[in-house]
Structure 1
Amino acid sequence: MGEFIDIFIGRQPIFNRNMEVVAYELLFRGNTQDNHAMIIGGDAASAQVMMNVFGEMGLDEVLGNHKGYINFTEGLLLREYQPFFPKKTVVIEVLEDVAVTPQLIDSLSRLKEQGFTIALDDYIFNPELLPLERFADIVKVEIQAVGPKQLIEHSQRLKAKDIKLLAEKVETREQFEFCAKLGFDYFQGYFFARPKIIQGRRLPNNKMTMLELLANVYNPDIDMHQLSDIIGKDVSLSQKLLKFVAESSGVGVQISSIHDAVLRFGLNRLKSWASMLVLSGVDDKPVELFTTALTRAKFCELVGGRLGRYSKDSYFTVGLFSCLDAVMDTELSVLLDKLGLDNAIHDALLEQTGDLGLVLKVVKGLEQGQTDFVLPDNMSASELSALYLEAMRFAEAIDLG
């Protein structure tokens, strides 16, 4: 199974007017030496924070009875999923660099309808962000970037909308007292406390199992027992799921099996969870690799459905596993020897022979912009291009940033 991997979370307290801790902002950290955010993709950083807190360290250890504020990039906000994390615990921080689009407005509307608390982060009263204020429960004001005149003007305006105010980057008692007089509710900054790094450990993620789970949760014909089987064969995934379900089901709820946990979690949350797992936990692989695998898998399935010589599952498997050597850093022949796949699938992947191999050749040709590949029976180049676009849309619906 491999050795345990060290994981880290930055945790900065948020105080009320009585200087009592009421919440924590949770921040991505890569080690214990550098108490600053490492420069990685924003989506990946937020995903790692969520997976480490909710799937590994546990809510009680990191947050106790407090809420956790987590940064959400535009990419995460625009994903159409039911978030897997508990709405009573997480405050969704909308970052200041988001683009106000109809898609973003729709996403925030759905999150509000589901009962999530929304905060606008590093708010400096940019007029372009005004449409977001109607979704905000909390506005975090970066007081170092806003003068006293603006603070007075806008704090009164926002308080009139019944929005709670949080002063960020409070570094002196004078700043704290000034904001408190203006009616600010919460405070955060070095005057109170610097972020503290919390360290934990997790089992390494099984890349192949995660890829299999990600592909199957988006299969419209999936059976929940199949998902239970995929998760159940991996100790790390099983442990993560059970912890999530236990923490979101309330006190006294007993989970009888992995399948019971899968049913309680539900398919929509499993989609969200599987996406976050890949984004956060396939530690050394670009997300584009998984997008390619899923595009190939869907294309092969669509073409296979027209040809009908093998099951659609066989075509899907050929496309999905065509990137397996890159995912696993192992020769494909070595991997396939351990999987016990049908000979036709085995030969298609290694030699690109037979009808299955022909479809794999086609999708690789389309990726490279080729036009001279052999067409499957009774299919035109334009028809194949249309199916490839459909497969790309399928993969983009599972976009991980």
Structure 2
Amino acid sequence: MNSISTFIGRQPVTDRQQQIIAYELLFRRDESSTDSGLFSPLEADTRVLTGILGDIGSGKLLKDKLAFVNVGETMLMSELVELLPARKIVLELSSDLPPSREILDRMRMLRGQGFSFSLDCTGLESGNEAYFDQIRYAKIDIQHETPQQFMHMNAQLKSYPILRIAKRVETPAHYSISRELDMDAYQGFYFAKPETVSATTIHPGMVNTLRLLNLVRNDADADQIEAVLKTDLALSFKLLRFVNSAAAGQHMRITSFSHAIIVLGYRKLYRWLTLLLVSNDENGRISPSLQRTAIIRARLMENIGRQQGLNQDGCDLLFISGMFSLLDVILKVPMLEACRHLQLPQEVEATLQGKPGTGASLLSLVRALEAPELGKISYLADAISMPAAQLNELHIEALGWVEDLGL
């Protein structure tokens, strides 16, 4: 198996009626951990960001709720943060970070894009009041502060249009104090302990990621970029899942790599590739044999579709179907669950799930060619009126195409 798992801790934030209004997302090393371990703040931030964008998907993580995401200075100042779905994300800063002019300017710029900010007021330093004009939320740790400090900080925040969240509310007494002080929201074990959400994910190799970065940086033709994507299952998997997610802000289903490139644009595509590069894990690569088989299937299905007179859109759908036809094997989950990771076009999902149709018939045919199952090949080829010699020719072309790619 050549996939790894992404884990993100998720703790609810509730309103006064104890209805969940948001989740705080935290990086976790594994399903049983309760902290980020030895990872640096930047690496933990990056892995949470990766989880939101694609590995788990903001839909699964957030549903219709907001997400509080901790960011340090490096991530805050990085363009990577701009990949997030702004109106669903609250960027949370630590009061340990002094409010420099550069940071405040960056906050204003991100607010203009739709982001909101929260300040963790634990041990709030004098002078950090400069944040109060920029933040929408403030968290006060009921266990860290003395009752007098808690009340003073709460009164100070009430002078601003800021929603005040009582943090680390773990007992009935903590909750009672918070309610008496008329806090707007609550977070802590009294309501729910953080749960860990996980998903199996595939990490693309560094070589193709760097190749694409160079192509995008040099404004290469979209055809050149698409050609690389068509040779890398992991990259194409992640691209389609990202571009069809809420993170990309699209309201249409993306059905081909060329469409994805056009819709994203080079600037956002470059940022996405940069994120992949900094979070890349070479131990999570797909085995070469699985990748090769998937790409042969994709090319052969595309060839047959073209021979059958399908238009380019139809051939693109067949290529994607072949490319992702081994997702259940790679992710070790049923194909139905694997499809949920991508939000694929209906035609592709139907093909991968074996529903009757042209795509499923062609996928059965290319699978039979791998065995080979001679009786089944003849039956399936006859069903699409394709002579054996022509099918062999298209199969050989697909095999040669992959060999030319060096796979």
> Taking structure 1 as the reference length, what is the TM-score of the superposition?
0.65
Separation of aligned partners in 1, 2:260 and 2:120: 34
Separation of aligned partners in 2, 1:127 and 1:268: 39
Moved more, 83-92 or 207-216: 207-216
- Partner residue in 2 for 1:303: none
Contact 1:92–1:119, Cα closer than 8 Å, also in 2: yes
- Offset of residue 84 of structure 1: 1.2
- Partner residue in 1 for 2:193: 194
- Partner residue in 2 for 1:23: 22
- Partner residue in 1 for 2:100: 101
- Partner residue in 1 for 2:66: 67
- Partner residue in 2 for 1:242: 240
- Matched letter for residue 51 of structure 1: T
Q: Give CA-to-partner distance per residue, 1:114-148, whole Å, 9 cap, x none.
A: 11011112443312322222110111122222222
Q: Give CA-to-partner distance per residue, 1:131-186, whole Å, 9 cap, x none.
A: 22211011112222222222222222322211011111111112112122222212
Separation of aligned partners in 1, 2:129 and 2:175: 26
**Structure 1 residue matching 2:82: 3-state secondary structure:** coil
Tell me: CA distance 1:97–1:6, structure 2 relative to 1, closer, same or farther (3 Å): same
**Structure 2 residue matching 1:54: 3-state secondary structure:** helix
Q: Give CA-to-partner distance per residue, 1:320-355, whole Å, 9 cap, x none.
A: xxxxxxxxxxxxxxxxxx988xxxxxxxxxxxxxxx
- Offset of residue 72 of structure 1: 0.7
Percent of aligned positions that are identical = 28
Tell me: CA distance 1:214–1:147, structure 2 relative to 1, closer, same or farther (3 Å): farther
- Offset of residue 55 of structure 1: 0.6
Tell me: CA distance 1:151–1:226, structure 2 relative to 1, closer, same or farther (3 Å): farther
Separation of aligned partners in 2, 1:232 and 1:184: 53
- Partner residue in 2 for 1:152: 151
- Partner residue in 1 for 2:349: none
RMSD: 2.6
Contact 1:91–1:119, Cα closer than 8 Å, also in 2: yes
Separation of aligned partners in 2, 1:123 and 1:223: 50
Q: Which runs of 5+ in 1 are unaligned?
A: 286-337, 341-401
- Partner residue in 1 for 2:2: 3
1:81-92 map, 5 Å = 83-92=82-91
Q: Give CA-to-partner distance per residue, 1:282-326, whole Å, 9 cap, x none.
A: 3579xxxxxxxxxxxxxxxxxxxxxxxxxxxxxxxxxxxxxxxxx
Separation of aligned partners in 2, 1:227 and 1:107: 32
Separation of aligned partners in 1, 2:267 and 2:250: 23
Contact 1:80–1:107, Cα closer than 8 Å, also in 2: no
Contact 1:142–1:169, Cα closer than 8 Å, also in 2: yes
Tell me: CA distance 1:160–1:115, structure 2 relative to 1, closer, same or farther (3 Å): same
- Partner residue in 1 for 2:163: 164
Separation of aligned partners in 1, 2:283 and 2:233: 21
- Partner residue in 2 for 1:376: none
Contact 1:165–1:185, Cα closer than 8 Å, also in 2: yes
Q: Give CA-to-partner distance per residue, 1:42-99, whole Å, 9 cap, x none.
A: 1111111121232122222222211111111110111246711211222111233324
**Structure 1 residue matching 2:158: 3-state secondary structure:** helix
Separation of aligned partners in 2, 1:283 and 1:150: 48
**Structure 2 residue matching 1:274: 3-state secondary structure:** helix
Tell me: CA distance 1:164–1:232, structure 2 relative to 1, closer, same or farther (3 Å): farther
- Offset of residue 275 of structure 1: 2.3
Tell me: CA distance 1:119–1:225, structure 2 relative to 1, closer, same or farther (3 Å): farther
- Partner residue in 2 for 1:141: 140
- Partner residue in 2 for 1:117: 116
- Partner residue in 2 for 1:38: 37
Separation of aligned partners in 2, 1:82 and 1:280: 14
1:1-400 map, 5 Å = 3-80=2-79, 83-219=82-218, 221-248=219-246, 253-282=252-281
- Partner residue in 1 for 2:382: none
**Structure 2 residue matching 1:144: 3-state secondary structure:** coil
**Structure 2 residue matching 1:24: 3-state secondary structure:** strand
Tell me: CA distance 1:10–1:81, structure 2 relative to 1, closer, same or farther (3 Å): closer
Contact 1:11–1:27, Cα closer than 8 Å, also in 2: yes
Separation of aligned partners in 2, 1:146 and 1:68: 25
- Offset of residue 232 of structure 1: 4.0
Q: Give CA-to-partner distance per residue, 1:172-201, whole Å, 9 cap, x none.
A: 112112122222212111211111112210
Contact 2:95–2:125, Cα closer than 8 Å, also in 1: no
Tell me: CA distance 1:206–1:111, structure 2 relative to 1, closer, same or farther (3 Å): same
- Matched letter for residue 66 of structure 1: K
Separation of aligned partners in 2, 1:228 and 1:148: 60
